[in-house]
Structure formats: C-alpha cells, structure tokens
Chains A and B, each alone.
Chain A
Amino acid sequence: MKSIIFILVFCFFIFLGYLDHSKYDIVYNPLAYPSLQLEKNKNEQIQIFSAPCSDFGGG
C-alpha cells in the first residue's frame, strides 16, 4: 500500500514537472553553447556555468 501511494505521489510530481516543461520548454541550455557565450560575456557565462552556485555558493 505504501509503495502504491509513493508511486502515485511521485508520478504526480513528475507530471507537474512535465506540465512545467510543456509551458516553458528550453529557454537556454547552458551546456549547449559554451565557447560562443564565453566570448560574448565572460562574466555572465561564468555565472550561468556555475549554475546553482552562481555568486552564492552551493545551491
């Protein structure tokens, strides 16, 4: 019973994630254009690549 409830809750959240994905899609994929963006704006690129770290350490 516990497994079934867990599966249902997990799938519900993944479904919410999929709805979000359908709504926003991929605006910017930080790993797709490394060198190009680095040339354009080094500071911004570092922040994007640092991803959740950004200026603020670990996510």
Chain B
Amino acid sequence: MIQEKKIDFFTLSFGLISSIFLLYFLKEIINFQHSLIFVIGLLLGFTLYHASFGFTGGWRNFIEKSDSSALRAQFLMLAFAILLFSGIVNSKSIFYGNPVIGSIAPTNVSVIIGSFIFGLAMQLAGGCGSGTLFTLGGGNTKMFITLIFFIVGSLVGTYNFTFWLDLPSLGNISLLEKFGIINTVLIQLISISLLYILCSFIDKKRNTVLNHSDIFLSSGFNAIKGPWPLFLGAILLAILNFLMLNIAGHPWSVTFAFGLWGAKIASFVGIDVASWTFWNFNYPKIALKNSIFADHTSISNIGIVLGAVIASSFAGSFSQKTTTNYKILLAAILGGFLMGFGARLAFGCNIGALFSGIASGSLHGWAWFLFAFIGAFFGVKARRWFYS
C-alpha cells in the first residue's frame, strides 16, 4: 500500500504568502497586466510540476526505451497551441487590443548549432528551460547550480551575438505570412500527426504494446496534490501560453530573463555589458535600463518557481532527498552553462523557440526541434558517464 504524503504546510505558507505579496507589489508598482503575467507564471509552475511535464525526461525515455508517451503529449500540446495561436498572431490581443507578436526568428546556422548544444546540454543538466525552474521550485538543490550556470551561459551567449547573426541564414520565415492561416494550420497539423504516428510506430515495434490512452491517465489523480495526467498538462500549457500571448503581447518565453539577470549582475560588478551589441537592440536595451520587475519573462519565471513550490508543498514532496556527487554537480554546471549559451544562439529554448515558435508558425521552431533532438541523442549517451 502506498502511503500518501502529507502537505508541507511550512513551505506552502511561504509559497502562498510570497505569491500574494509579489502579486500586490506588481499591481501597485508596475501595473495590473504584470500581475496577471505573474499569475500565469504561477499556474504554469503548478501545471508543470503536477503533470511532470518535462521535455528532457520525455525525450530521454523515447531515445533510450522508445517510450513515446511524453512525446505524444507534447505533440498534442503543440497541435492545440497551433489552433489557438494561428488566428491571433500578428493581430490584436483579445483582452487589450494591443499588437500581438509571435515568436518569429531567423532559420539560420546559429539555430542549428544552438539547438544542438541545448538538446545535448539539457540531458546533462536533467532539465530544460522550464524544467530547470519547476524542479528548482520543487526543491531540487542541483537545479540551483544549473540555474546559476544557465544565467552565466546566457550572458556569455549575448557577447559577440552579431557573429552568430551573420552566419548563413534563410531569414525570418513565418508560415502564416507565406501560406495564410488555413494552409499553415493544415501543414503544421499534418506534420505533427505524421510525427505522432512515427513515434507511436517506433514505440509499438520495440515495446510490442502501445496504449494511446496512457497520457490521459495518472495513478491516483488529485487536482490539488497531483499527479496529473500528461494530457491535462498539455492542454493547460497551451491555454496558458495563449493567455500569455494575449496579456503580454508575446508568447511564453523563459531564457531571455536569464541573460538579463546575468547582465544586471555583470553591470553591478563593473562589466560594461551595455556596450555589447545585443544589449543595444531595442528590447534588450530597454530591459537592461528597466526594473527587473518590468520584464515579463522575469516575472513569469519567478511565478513558475513559486507555482512549483506551492504544487510540491501540496504533494508533500518539496524536501525530497536527491542524490548528488561531484559528477552530477559537474553535469549541472556544464549542462546549465551550455543550455544558456545554446539558447541564446538558437533564439530561445524548448519554450520560446520550440513551443512558442511552432505555435506562432515560425520555421525556426521546427529547425530547433530537429537539431535539439539530435543533440539530445548525443546528450543521453554522454549523460551515462555523469550519472553512472
């Protein structure tokens, strides 16, 4: 008989009080929209934790065991997000009427290199962009080390950024602009369906039995204490990204904030990051001059961590012990740094480039997916040394 874990009231109180305080602070000092973005962050963290919705473990399960469950859930999430996003990207917010911009970036050599590095590194670190935040919020000490080096890597990635931008490029390719809404939705949904069928085929061939309903089920489902089925996580993440798009004016992203935090700390210790080309582009320049609490990505990231703190406290698993040794710490350092560096080169991580990029109809999102997956394949092999 499995013993149900008790709610960790101490950590839960901290999570709830800090969330309420930050919510009030953001509403009073910045504005109401920023507090809404923070709430979306909280809900993202809660969802990610309870559904254990990570890209890293899911991809590794497929590479090592041909277990396609997490990948199938991710395909459903992407398909649902495409349906939600396609009519609104490059249009106006359904709430505020302000312009809504998709995650569109160049499809170039730096995306190929950056996503490959990111895919490899996330297997070493044991978490991706969102994964690092929600597992940190779940009390995983190793992820704190990963986050610190994620920040360092992101900052280093902004140095000499133009070198990477100048590499051969196909330019920004928006499928929505090229083919229109209906055709783009059809092209993308057909591509995702084919990938779903391919992964299911590989899974069934190796494991003999494939139960498509596995992503709809979870043992001992509990809305407050978790766990949640992957499907519920997939649908909620797509909806929350859509809300982010309409409230913030852009889709959900994670790693820009890491570079910004690194740049703020570097400026504080006297490094002249403001002279770097990256920090002279329009938004980065404003973000560097602005309060950190005015940056959407920063406040949603803080929300994700606190959302996961609350979820893990309800689940009674915040203080769960994790194994750490020097090899695992080295993997966290290396993985964190390379993820940060790779994300900058690839114009985002699994959230900003893959999830939001594909949902926005940008070709670079698909390139990111392909090359990050190849990188993950090598990362899974390399990981064996660190975690043996």
A residues bordering B, Cβ < 8 Å? Answer: 2-3, 6-7, 9-10, 14, 17, 20-21, 24-32, 34, 38, 44-59
Contacts and interface: CB of A to CB of B under 8 A. Distances in A.
Given A31-B96, A32-B31, A47-B282, A3 B14 contact: yes
Contact of A20 (B10, B103, B291): B291
Q: Chain A binding site: helix, strand, loop or mixed by DSSP?
A: helix
B262 to A, nearest CB: 12
Most buried by B among A27, A31, A46: A31
Contacts of B348: 56-59
B296 A51 contact: yes
B98 A31 contact: yes
Contacts of B101: 46, 49-51, 53
A35 to B, nearest CB: 8
B319 A2 contact: yes
Contacts of B352: 52-53, 57-59
B18 A10 contact: yes
A56 B157 CA distance: 13
Q: Which of B96, B97, B250 gathers most chain A CB within 10 Å?
A: B250
Interface string B84-106: 00000000000011111111111
A54 B283 contact: yes
Interface centre among A17, A25, A44, A47 (most CB of B within 10 A): A17
Nearest to A41: B282
Interface residues of B, number: 70
Interface in B69-123: 96-106
Q: Which of B139, B284, B291, B354 gathers the greatest number of chain A CB atoms within 10 Å?
A: B291
A25 B291 contact: yes
Contacts of B295: 52
B256 interface: yes
B interface, by DSSP: helix, strand, loop or mixed? helix
A54 B43 CA distance: 25
A56 B353 CA distance: 9
Contacts of A30: 249, 286
B196 interface: no
Contacts of A55: 105, 172, 281
A49 B250 contact: yes
A3 B8 contact: yes
A59 B292 contact: no
A57 B353 contact: yes
Interface string B19-43: 0001000000111011000000000
A32 to B, nearest CB: 7
Contact of A3 (B106, B250, B318, B354): B318
A58 B353 contact: yes
Interface stretch (B181-189, B209-217, B356-364): B356-364
A48 to B, nearest CB: 6
Contact of B30 (A2, A26, A38, A44): A26
26 contacts: A2-B319, A3-B319, A7-B11, A14-B302, A26-B30, A27-B290, A27-B291, A28-B286, A31-B31, A34-B98, A48-B283, A48-B286, A52-B253, A52-B256, A52-B287, A52-B297, A53-B102, A53-B250, A53-B251, A54-B282, A56-B348, A57-B104, A58-B103, A58-B352, A59-B256, A59-B348
